[in-house]
């Protein structure tokens, strides 16, 4: 296992596989950060239920753009131009979760509740990783983790509120949970991914895909049940197991 | 050899400024939601306008504008 702390100044001395994986993971993270706003800004910002909700949507988008900026800067500094990511069609995003569009308030709330939570798991992988500039994105004074936690809390609260109304509202939220839950589980990747093992070897990730997925399930299932919702089957509709 | 891309610094500068402007608009909007919905609405419009530009992603235009 590789345990060095690599700075930008000594990247040239690193193994080509390390550089390849570092460039890839940073580019994917940048894509995910800007992928969220591309799903909901056009549709949800004008249609959110209240002015406060509209402003929270705008603030969420601003924070995700800032997260993109930080990852894009790291990518740029190691020779990867991610500026094209800002204008690529949603259908071309790295992860399927970002390839559609969010058109309902329920989907926006559940996206925060379930998908931003997966994002937090991914970011946690970088804490203390072998590329020091990447690890520093998560450390004080950066507020990336706090901001992501805010998105998750907001989505969780709004989801719970809608579910508590019962009736049609509850049914709509359940449909959103059914869709985003399986999408969330797929975001962790294949359990037998060889690339994931190489990320771990080079100290760019800590957990296996399956470990992270099961920790997520253990965290989120009780929350779903606590809202009076049904936990979807873990295998139904899955693409990456 | 690892070299930074030409867009790394100017894109960072541009987006940093955009995010600051957006945050300020949101803060002002939230301050007015209760007592002046019209003013809050104006700040929401500002956010929509700024975000529409970012979502369009015309990076070369942004960088050209922000370069000396």
d(Cα A113, Cα A173) in Å, to the nearest integer? 11
Residue pair B3/B55 in contact by the 8 Å Cβ criterion:
no
* Nearest Cα residue in chain A from B56: A87
pLDDT in tens, B22-68: 999 999 999 999 999 999 999 999 999 999 999 999 999 999 865 55
pLDDT 10s per residue in chain A (241 long)? 999 999 999 999 999 999 999 999 999 999 999 999 999 999 999 999 999 999 999 999 999 999 999 999 999 999 999 999 999 999 999 999 999 999 999 999 999 999 999 999 999 999 999 999 999 999 999 999 999 999 999 999 999 999 999 999 999 999 999 999 999 999 999 999 999 999 999 999 999 999 999 999 999 999 999 999 999 999 999 999 9
SS3 content of chain B, % helix, strand, coil (to 5): 80, 0, 20
Closest CA of chain B from A240, distance in Å: 29
Closest CA of chain B from A38, distance in Å: 6
Residue pair A67/A33 in contact by the 8 Å Cβ criterion:
yes
pLDDT of residue A74: 97
Q: What is the CATH number of the domain that holds A74?
A: 1.20.1260.10
Instruction: Name the residue range of residue A66's domain.
Output: 14-226
Q: How many domains does chain A have?
A: 1
Name which of B3, B16, B51 is nearest A41 (Cβ-Cβ): B51
Q: Which pair of structure tokens corresponds to residue B22?
A: 């957006």
Name which of B9, B30, B55 is nearest A42 (Cβ-Cβ): B55
Name which of A52, A55, A69 is nearest B15 (Cβ-Cβ): A69
Q: Which residue from A224, A198, A197, A227 is spatially nearest to A211, judged by alpha carbons?
A: A197
pLDDT of residue B64: 84
A240 inside domain: no
Bridge partners of A131, per DSSP, are A6
Which residues of chain A lie closer than 8 angstroms to B45, CB-CB?
none
Q: Is the confidence at residue B18, as pLDDT, over 60?
A: yes
pLDDT of residue B65: 62
A185 inside domain: yes
Please indicate if any CB of chain A lies within 8 Å of the CB of B48. Answer: yes
d(Cα A17, Cα B50) in Å, to the nearest integer? 39
A33 inside domain: yes
A135 inside domain: yes
Which residues of chain B lie closer than 8 angstroms to A69, CB-CB?
11-12, 15-16, 19
A231 inside domain: no
Phi-psi region of B65 (alpha: psi -120 to 50; beta: other; left: phi over 0): alpha
A239 inside domain: no
Across the interface, do A79 and B2 touch by the CB < 8 Å criterion? yes
Which residues of chain B lie closer than 8 angstroms to A8, CB-CB?
2
A7 inside domain: no
A31 inside domain: yes
pLDDT of residue B66: 57
pLDDT of residue B2: 87
pLDDT of residue A238: 94
> pTM of the entire structure?
0.96
Question: Which ranges of A78-143 would DSSP assign to H, the alpha helix?
Answer: 105-110, 116-126, 132-136
Which residues of chain B lie closer than 8 angstroms to A38, CB-CB?
55
């Amino acid at each position: 296992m590789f345990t060095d702390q690599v700075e930008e100044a000594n990247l040239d001395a690193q193994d080509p596989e390390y550089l390849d994986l570092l460039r890839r993971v940073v580019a994917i993270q940048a894509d995910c950060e800007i992928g969220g706003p591309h799903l909901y800004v056009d549709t949800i910002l004008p249609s959110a239920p209240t002015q406060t909700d509209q402003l929270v949507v705008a603030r969420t988008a601003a924070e995700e753009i800032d997260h993109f900026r930080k990852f894009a800067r790291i990518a740029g500094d190691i020779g990867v131009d991610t500026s094209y990511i800002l204008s690529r069609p949603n259908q071309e995003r790295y992860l399927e979760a970002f390839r559609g569009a969010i058109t309902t308030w329920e989907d926006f709330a559940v996206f925060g509740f379930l998908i931003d939570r997966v994002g937090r798991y991914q970011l946690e992988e970088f804490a203390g990783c072998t590329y020091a500039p990447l690890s520093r994105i998560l450390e004080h004074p950066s507020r990336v983790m706090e901001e992501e936690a805010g998105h998750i809390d907001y989505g969780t609260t709004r989801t719970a509120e809608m579910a508590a109304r019962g009736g049609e509202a509850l049914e709509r939220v359940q449909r959103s949970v059914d869709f985003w839950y399986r999408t969330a589980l797929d975001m962790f990747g294949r359990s037998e991914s060889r690339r994931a093992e190489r990320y771990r070897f080079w100290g760019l990730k800590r957990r296996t895909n399956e470990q992270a997925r099961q920790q997520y399930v253990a965290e989120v299932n009780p929350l779903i049940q606590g809202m009076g919702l049904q936990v979807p089957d873990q295998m139904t509709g899955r693409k990456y197991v | 050899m690892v070299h930074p891309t030409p867009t790394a610094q100017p894109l960072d500068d541009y987006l940093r400024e955009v995010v600051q402007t957006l945050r300020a608009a949101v803060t002002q909007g939230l301050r007015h939601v209760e007592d002046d919905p019209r003013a809050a609405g104006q700040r929401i419009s500002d956010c929509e306008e700024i975000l529409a530009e970012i979502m369009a992603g015309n990076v070369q235009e942004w960088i050209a504008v922000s370069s000396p």
